[in-house]
């Protein structure tokens, strides 16, 4: 049985219990306390939480082309890894690993294993749920790619960054295909067919040289060439560039991974029976006393900002600061931005663990409780939650902990008494209400084959 078919057996359920309210039991004309629904509705309005506008319908032809490209290993240097390897439909649009095993590894999801030269990619793969929603202008944990058609786009490619993208989700495509440890591969390596990897001879900084080589691979396959020309009328073969591939993949990701039919969405639309009382109490805590909504704000539970929550520094680390990861500070080069990472949306968060920028927590409740008491959880952290190869990498010195906590975001503060276990259970119930049932099994998104003939389901 294939890996994807095994993964398709994952099941989840959401309890739907009607709301209720009652009098104070005193008899007479004592005033009736506001109902839970009334309180929650008023709180959500005050917090600006309202129904999310769905993205416009995508062109079916462009979606189909993007689907094939999304699963196409031909676009990687060694022809051995695709977008879907790290953003798999059956793994919450991520890969189920604490930190991704990149170029040269084999297998899918938690069963993926290192090859002779493969490396961990330092960070947890972010899901791509709802990235096509208007206003989602920042990508990656450190925000290194951002923009929109009005303001333009910035990326590690600097002035070479194309500006013709329809949104940041489409632009996202141009980054993972360039690093050697992700999709490009390295100099002197052979591809899966025993042929030289011409893309691997370039460096991570050679964006403007890498992109045309990736496009050339797609255009060398008649089915892709014909589909690209049909999807973009008026273009010639010479006109096709990386933006066209990115727009197709972006259209597919928008179509496939928009998940806005959760119980919470139904509640926002006026169906007060869509949430159980526990989920409603959890929402009250989330946007109220627990202060989760200070960063996980709005209808998608993200302010798109960057915050230091003192996540355990575990894993390979990144760049010159390894084994530490400065996060946003690596992009801005500002000391005050060190250890800050972008607030993730919590839509479908049940489906996309492990959690934190480096996958430090294997259980969602532990990640939630870390937010409630970062200092205690940082000190008690056990790195046996991450991949065995990363055991022993937790930077647990007193100096490191002090450094992390010194710039802890002040918004990580619960108002009043600490949350009880029952209240944490209500918070977890609310998070379950952010799961779209249609996302539980997306086996139908996986094509039977791709035009290159390279394997899809491994």
Separation CA 130–CA 223 (nearest Å): 29
Looking at residue 116, what is its pLDDT?
85
Looking at residue 415, what is its pLDDT?
83
Looking at residue 1, what is its pLDDT?
45
* Residue 224 shares a structural domain with residue 275: no
Q: Which of 233, 259, 285 is the last residue of a domain?
A: 259
* Residue 311 shares a structural domain with residue 431: yes
Classify residue 26: in a domain, yes or no. Answer: no
Separation CA 116–CA 123 (nearest Å): 20
DSSP 8-class letter at 182: I
Classify residue 109: in a domain, yes or no. Answer: no
Q: Which of 239, 259, 279 is the last residue of a domain?
A: 259
Separation CA 318–CA 327 (nearest Å): 8
Looking at residue 155, what is its pLDDT?
99
Classify residue 113: in a domain, yes or no. Answer: no
* Residue 280 shares a structural domain with residue 248: no
Classify residue 327: in a domain, yes or no. Answer: yes
* Residue 347 shares a structural domain with residue 424: yes
User: In 3D, which of 146, 119, 36 has the Cα closest to residue 426?
Assistant: 36
| CATH number of the domain within which 83 lies | 1.10.760.10
Q: What is the pLDDT along the chain (458 residues), one digit of tens a residue?
A: 444 444 444 333 333 333 333 333 334 455 566 799 999 999 999 999 999 999 999 999 999 999 999 999 999 999 999 999 999 999 999 999 999 999 999 999 999 999 988 889 999 999 999 999 999 999 999 999 999 999 999 999 999 999 999 999 999 999 999 999 999 999 999 999 999 999 999 999 999 999 999 999 999 999 999 999 999 999 999 999 999 999 999 999 999 999 999 999 999 999 999 999 999 999 999 999 999 999 999 999 999 999 999 999 999 999 999 999 999 999 999 999 999 999 999 999 999 999 999 999 999 999 999 999 999 999 999 999 999 999 999 999 999 999 999 999 999 988 888 999 999 999 999 999 999 999 999 999 999 999 999 999 77
Classify residue 394: in a domain, yes or no. Answer: yes
Separation CA 191–CA 120 (nearest Å): 20
* Residue 76 shares a structural domain with residue 217: yes
* Residue 347 shares a structural domain with residue 224: no
Q: Which domain holds residue 252?
A: 60-87+128-259
Looking at residue 117, what is its pLDDT?
82
Q: Match 């539970």 to its residue by tokens.
A: 301
Looking at residue 457, what is its pLDDT?
77
Query: What residues contact residue 334 under an 8 Å CB cut-off, 6+ apart?
Result: none
Joined tokens for residue 320: 């010159």
With beta carbons less than 8 A apart as the criterion, state whether 169 and 132 touch: yes
Alpha helices for 314-393 (secondary structure H): 329-332, 364-372, 374-380
* Residue 254 shares a structural domain with residue 265: no
* Residue 305 shares a structural domain with residue 350: yes
* Residue 306 shares a structural domain with residue 412: yes
Cα of 336 vs its chain's centroid, Å = 24
Separation CA 324–CA 320 (nearest Å): 9
DSSP-assigned letters across all residues of 244-273: HHHHHHHHHHHHHH----SHHHHHHTT-GG
* Residue 225 shares a structural domain with residue 367: no
Classify residue 3: in a domain, yes or no. Answer: no
User: In 3D, which of 155, 242, 157, 153 has the Cα closest to residue 205?
Assistant: 157
* Residue 247 shares a structural domain with residue 266: no
Buried residues in 230-241 as b, exposed as e (16+ CB within 10 A): ebbeeeeeeebe
Q: How many CA atoms lie within 13 A of 83 on its CB side?
A: 27
Beta bridge partner(s), residue 154: 146
Give the total number of structural domains in the chain. Answer: 2
Q: Which of 231, 259, 287 is the last residue of a domain?
A: 259
Classify residue 406: in a domain, yes or no. Answer: yes
Classify residue 10: in a domain, yes or no. Answer: no
* Residue 311 shares a structural domain with residue 215: no
């Amino acid at each position: 049985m294939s890996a994807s078919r095994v993964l398709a057996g994952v099941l989840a359920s959401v309890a739907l219990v009607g709301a209720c309210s009652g009098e104070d039991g005193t008899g007479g004309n004592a005033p009736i306390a506001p109902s839970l629904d009334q309180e929650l509705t008023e709180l959500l309005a005050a917090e600006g939480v309202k129904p999310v506008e769905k993205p416009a319908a995508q062109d079916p032809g462009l979606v189909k082309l993007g689907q094939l490209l999304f699963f196409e290993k031909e676009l990687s240097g060694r022809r051995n890894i695709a977008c879907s390897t790290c953003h798999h439909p059956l793994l919450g649009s991520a890969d189920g690993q604490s930190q991704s095993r990149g170029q040269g590894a084999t297998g899918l999801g938690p069963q993926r294993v290192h090859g002779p030269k493969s490396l961990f990619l330092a960070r947890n793969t972010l899901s791509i749920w709802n990235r096509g929603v208007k206003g989602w202008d920042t990508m990656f944990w450190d925000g290194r790619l951002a923009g929109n058609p009005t303001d333009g786009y910035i990326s590690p490619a600097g002035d070479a960054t194309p500006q013709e993208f329809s949104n940041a989700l489409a632009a996202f495509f141009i980054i993972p295909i360039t690093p050697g440890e992700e999709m490009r591969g390295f100099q002197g390596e052979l591809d899966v067919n025993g042929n030289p990897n011409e893309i691997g001879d370039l460096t991570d900084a050679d964006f403007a040289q890498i992109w045309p080589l990736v496009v050339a691979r797609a255009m060398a396959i008649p089915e892709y060439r014909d589909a690209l020309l049909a999807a973009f009328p008026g273009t010639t073969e010479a006109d096709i560039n990386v933006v066209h591939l990115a727009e197709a993949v972006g259209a597919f990701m928008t179509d496939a991974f928009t998940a806005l039919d959760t119980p919470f969405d139904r509640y926002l639309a006026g169906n007060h029976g869509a949430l159980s009382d526990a989920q409603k109490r959890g929402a009250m805590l989330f946007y109220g006393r627990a202060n989760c909504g200070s960063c996980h704000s709005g209808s998608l539970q993200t302010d798109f900002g960057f915050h230091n929550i003192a996540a355990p520094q575990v894993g390979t680390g990144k760049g010159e600061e390894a084994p530490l990861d400065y996060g946003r500070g690596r992009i801005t080069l500002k000391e005050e931005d060190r250890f800050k990472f972008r607030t993730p949306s919590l839509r479908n968060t049940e489906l996309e663990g492990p959690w934190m920028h480096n996958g430090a927590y294997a259980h969602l409740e532990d990640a939630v409780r870390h937010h409630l008491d970062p200092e205690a959880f940082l000190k008690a952290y056990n790195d046996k939650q991450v991949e065995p190869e990363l055991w022993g990498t937790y930077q647990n010195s007193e100096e490191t902990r002090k450094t992390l906590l010194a710039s802890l975001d002040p918004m990580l503060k619960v108002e009043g008494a600490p949350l009880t276990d029952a209240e944490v259970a209500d918070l977890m119930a609310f998070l379950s209400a952010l799961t779209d049932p249609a996302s539980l099994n997306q086996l139908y998104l996986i094509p039977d084959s791709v035009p290159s003939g390279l394997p899809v389901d491994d």
